[in-house]
């Protein structure tokens, strides 16, 4: 049953031979001019007059990358325009330690420390339910309560 599978067909190696054989009977091992088909195709493509297929493929891929990059950059710029926060200027509210404040995300809180002046003013605020947060008063959308 040599060369036959259980379905009665001849196996691929017994029908066509093995490309990986090192036996003396293998004709291609002695033939130094043998080139595998893929190598011959690549060599023939390089010999076509006026065509550099590798350059065509590379330039097409480069164009796709550039187009994709342009779309991603444009989308990021549009997103930034819509979602860039505006300065809240909470430092102008005259906040002091012990003042009650309200934040849209964190809720009600009490200022426990204030540092800096003007646009560089920062506050440490203890929010009920979320804990202590350190916020820049120039950007934090705070409202003074009480």
Q: Where are the domains of the chain?
A: 35-84, 90-145
Pick the closest to residue 112 from 102, 122, 130, 126 (CA basis).
126
The pLDDT of residue 62 is 75
Q: Stretch 92-103: mean pLDDT, rounded?
A: 90
Q: Stretch 3-19: mean pLDDT, rounded?
A: 60
Residue 89 has pLDDT above 80, yes or no: no
Fold exhibited by the domain 90-145 = Thrombin, subunit H (2.40.10)
Residue 24 has pLDDT above 50, yes or no: no
Q: Stretch 4-19: mean pLDDT, rounded?
A: 61
Mean pLDDT lowest among 19-23, 69-73, 112-116 = 19-23
Predicted confidence band of residue 30 (pLDDT cuts 50, 70, 90): low
Residue 25 has pLDDT above 50, yes or no: no
CA distance 139 to 91: 9
What is the model's pTM?
Answer: 0.44
Residue 88 has pLDDT above 80, yes or no: no
3-state secondary structure of 127: strand
Mean pLDDT lowest among 21-25, 32-36, 79-83, 95-99 = 21-25
The pLDDT of residue 6 is 55
Q: Hey, which residues does 41 pair with through a beta bridge?
A: none
Tell me, rounded to whole angstroms, the distance of Cα 112 from its chain centroid: 41
């Amino acid at each position: 049953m040599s060369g036959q599978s259980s379905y009665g067909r001849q196996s691929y190696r017994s029908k066509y031979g093995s490309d990986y054989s090192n036996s003396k009977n293998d004709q291609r091992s002695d033939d130094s001019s043998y080139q595998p088909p893929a190598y011959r195709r690549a060599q023939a493509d390089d010999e076509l007059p006026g065509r550099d297929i590798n350059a065509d493929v590379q330039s097409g891929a480069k164009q796709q990358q550039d187009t994709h990059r342009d779309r991603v950059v444009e989308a990021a710029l549009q997103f930034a325009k819509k979602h860039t926060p505006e300065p809240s200027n909470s430092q102008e509210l005259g906040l002091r330690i012990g003042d009650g404040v309200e934040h849209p995300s964190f809720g009600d809180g009490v200022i426990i420390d204030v540092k800096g002046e003007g646009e560089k003013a920062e506050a440490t605020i203890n929010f009920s339910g979320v804990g202590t947060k350190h916020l820049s008063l120039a950007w934090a959308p705070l409202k003074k309560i009480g």
